[in-house]
């Protein structure tokens, strides 16, 4: 019996390790997680006879077995079907206003290209954008999708995304920032350069090296206007200040997308999708408790982090479930999949002890 308990703990710890690995991946996964594979790969992922299988919750086995880097890169340069990309856009939870703005931009670009093909006058389109909103509202995810959309429409030659913040552009000595920023721009050519918390480049005074990064960026946007799109992101008020801090920024960034906080129902749907993808289900009491938690946390979405906060709640629930199940002598498949109310409560919550005793 002791060996069986040790094996159950090992299998549950495998899920926790997969969650830790997933935290290092991009924000785009905050909404969707990873679909479990039918057959986990690797010796450790295969339980002995009589034990339930642990799904590859975040797709780590798939990542280990994917194509060589050069093959994957070549495949990524093939333009995707724009209708498929639009379907992906509209499948995202929430983001109603953002979806409408992106759809409108797609239509504008398509019509502009058709006018060019018919030798009709066209206006120069500024495709650089400002994304504003609180953390965890899908800004990075939509930026990544926009790079693929622009590639599909023939605007960008590669359609990849390079993500940086101030630290990725600014160096510590005179003259080095222009070099560092230029190297990042070279990597982004043919795709989208996504600068998170871009306001940090202009909030430290005129003598700060961030100003040098901005000037280098503005020159690159002019020199590579046909094969580089820049998307800057951050909090609403700070991004307004950023754009207004430099006439060059104001003239180049005239498309603003606001990402609202997720509602309680939307965050609940995100949690449900993570459960579905990872092979878990909530019982009725757990769902009610989750709604209460989300309603309380959503009062401070900046601190909670919207979809990021949902991801953290999900991972904490899995960890608590693992601790709860490790003390049971026998486990069924349904028990391994079920998340209960106590799995959503912190260890010092008095309700948890009551629930565990029932």
174 confidence band (pLDDT: 50, 70, 90): confident
Residues 251 and 126 in one domain: yes
Inside any domain, residue 87: no
Inside any domain, residue 154: yes
Burial of 223 (0-12, 13-18, 19+ CB in 10 A): exposed
Nearest one of 282, 340, 271 to 312, comparing CA atoms: 271
The 10s digit of each residue's pLDDT in 193-209 is 999 999 999 987 766 89
Most confident of 48-57, 58-67, 70-79, 121-130: 121-130
Half-sphere exposure of 152 (CA within 13 A, CB side): 16
Inside any domain, residue 310: yes
The 10s digit of each residue's pLDDT in 69-97 is 343 344 457 899 999 999 999 999 999 99
In this prediction, residue 309 carries a pLDDT of 93
Alpha-carbon distance of 190 to 151, in angstroms, equals: 8
Q: Is the pLDDT of residue 61 over 70?
A: no
Alpha-carbon distance of 184 to 34, in angstroms, equals: 29
Return the bridge partners of 257, or none.
131
Residues 290 and 156 in one domain: no
In this prediction, residue 301 carries a pLDDT of 76
Q: Is the pLDDT of residue 183 over 50?
A: yes
Phi, psi of 23 (to 5 degrees): -65, -20
Last residue in a domain, options 228, 259, 290: 259
Alpha-carbon distance of 311 to 307, in angstroms, equals: 6
In this prediction, residue 18 carries a pLDDT of 58
Burial of 200 (0-12, 13-18, 19+ CB in 10 A): buried
Residues 280 and 329 in one domain: yes
Residues 219 and 282 in one domain: no
Residues 161 and 223 in one domain: yes
In this prediction, residue 342 carries a pLDDT of 95
Last residue in a domain, options 259, 282, 314: 259
Number of structural domains (the chain) is: 2
Residues 153 and 104 in one domain: yes
Alpha-carbon distance of 318 to 23, in angstroms, equals: 14
Q: What's the chain's average pLDDT?
A: 82
Residue 222: give the domain boundaries.
95-259
Q: Is the pLDDT of residue 184 over 90?
A: yes
Nearest one of 91, 218, 78, 73 to 142, comparing CA atoms: 91
Cα-based torsion angle of the residue sequence 181, 186, 188, 190 in order, rounded to the nearest 10 degrees: 150
Residues 276 and 309 in one domain: yes
- Report the range of poorest mean pLDDT among 99-113, 122-136, 269-283, 337-351: 337-351
CATH code assigned at 181 = 3.40.50.300
Last residue in a domain, options 232, 259, 286: 259
- Report the range of poorest mean pLDDT among 120-129, 149-158, 337-346, 349-358: 349-358
Inside any domain, residue 82: no
Residues 35 and 21 in one domain: yes
The 10s digit of each residue's pLDDT in 226-270 is 999 999 999 999 999 999 999 999 999 989 999 999 999 999 999
Alpha-carbon distance of 82 to 145, in angstroms, equals: 11
Inside any domain, residue 127: yes
Residues 234 and 317 in one domain: no
| Length of the chain counted residue by residue | 358
Which is it for the CA torsion 76, 77, 78, 79, positive or negative? positive
Residues 234 and 271 in one domain: no
In this prediction, residue 300 carries a pLDDT of 82
Q: Is the pLDDT of residue 149 over 90?
A: yes
Q: Is the pLDDT of residue 339 over 70?
A: yes
Inside any domain, residue 90: no
Inside any domain, residue 76: no
Inside any domain, residue 104: yes
Q: Is the pLDDT of residue 356 over 70?
A: no
Residues 188 and 272 in one domain: no
Phi, psi of 235 (to 5 degrees): -65, 150
Residues 269 and 242 in one domain: no
- Report the range of poorest mean pLDDT among 46-60, 100-114, 210-224, 243-257: 46-60
Alpha-carbon distance of 58 to 278, in angstroms, equals: 7
Q: Mind spelling out the 3-state secondary structure of the chain?
A: CHHHHHHHHHHHHHHHHHHHHHCCCCCCHHHHCCCCCCCCCCCCCCCCCCCCCCCCCCCHHHHHCCCCHHHHHHHHCCCCCHHHHHHHHHHCCCCHHHHHHHHHHHHHHHHHHHHHHCCCCCCCCCCCEEEEECCCCCHHHHHHHHHHHHHHCCCCCCCCEEEECHHHHCCCCCCHHHHHHHHHHHHHCCCEEEEECHHHHCCCCCCCCHHHHHHHHHHHHHHCCCCCEEEEEECHHHHHHHHHCCHHHHHHCCCEEEECCCCHHHHHHHHHHHHHHHCCEECHHHHHHHHHHHHHHHHHHHHHCCHHHHHHHHHHHHHHHHHHHCCCCCCCHHHHHEECHHHHCCCCCHHHHHHHHC
């Amino acid at each position: 019996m002791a060996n069986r308990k040790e094996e159950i703990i090992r299998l549950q710890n495998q899920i926790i390790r997969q969650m830790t690995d997933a935290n290092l991946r991009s924000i785009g996964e905050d909404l969707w997680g990873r679909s479990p594979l039918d057959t986990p790969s690797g010796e450790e992922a295969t339980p002995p006879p009589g034990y339930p299988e642990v799904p590859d919750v975040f797709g780590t086995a798939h990542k280990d077995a994917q194509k060589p880097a050069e093959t994957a890169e070549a495949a990524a340069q093939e333009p995707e079907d724009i209708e498929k990309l639009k379907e992906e856009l509209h499948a995202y939870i929430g983001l109603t206003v953002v979806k409408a703005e992106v759809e409108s931009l797609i239509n504008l670009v398509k019509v502009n290209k058709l006018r060019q093909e018919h030798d009709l006058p066209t206006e120069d389109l500024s495709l650089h954008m400002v994304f504003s909103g609180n953390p965890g509202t899908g800004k990075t995810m939509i930026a990544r999708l926009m790079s693929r959309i622009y590639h599909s429409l023939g605007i960008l030659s590669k359609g990849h995304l390079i993500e940086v913040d101030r630290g990725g552009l600014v160096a510590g000595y005179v003259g080095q920032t222009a070099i560092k920023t230029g190297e990042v721009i070279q990597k982004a050519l043919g795709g989208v350069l996504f600068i998170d918390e871009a306001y940090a480049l202009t909030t430290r005074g005129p003598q700060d090296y961030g100003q040098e990064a901005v000037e280098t960026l503005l020159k690159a946007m002019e020199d590579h206007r046909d094969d580089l799109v820049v998307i800057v992101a951050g909090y609403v008020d700070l991004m307004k200040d950023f754009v207004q801090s430099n006439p060059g920024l104001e003239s180049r960034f005239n498309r603003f997308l606001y990402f609202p906080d997720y509602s309680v129902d939307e965050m609940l749907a995100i949690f449900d999708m993570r459960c579905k993808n990872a092979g878990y289900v909530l019982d009725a009491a757990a769902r009610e408790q989750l709604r209460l938690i989300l309603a309380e946390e959503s009062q401070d979405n900046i601190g909670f982090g919207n979809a990021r906060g949902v991801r953290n709640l999900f991972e904490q629930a899995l960890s608590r479930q693992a601790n709860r199940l490790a003390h049971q002598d026998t486990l069924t498949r349904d028990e391994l999949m079920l998340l209960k109310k106590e799995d959503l409560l912190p260890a010092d919550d008095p309700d948890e002890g009551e629930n565990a005793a029932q």
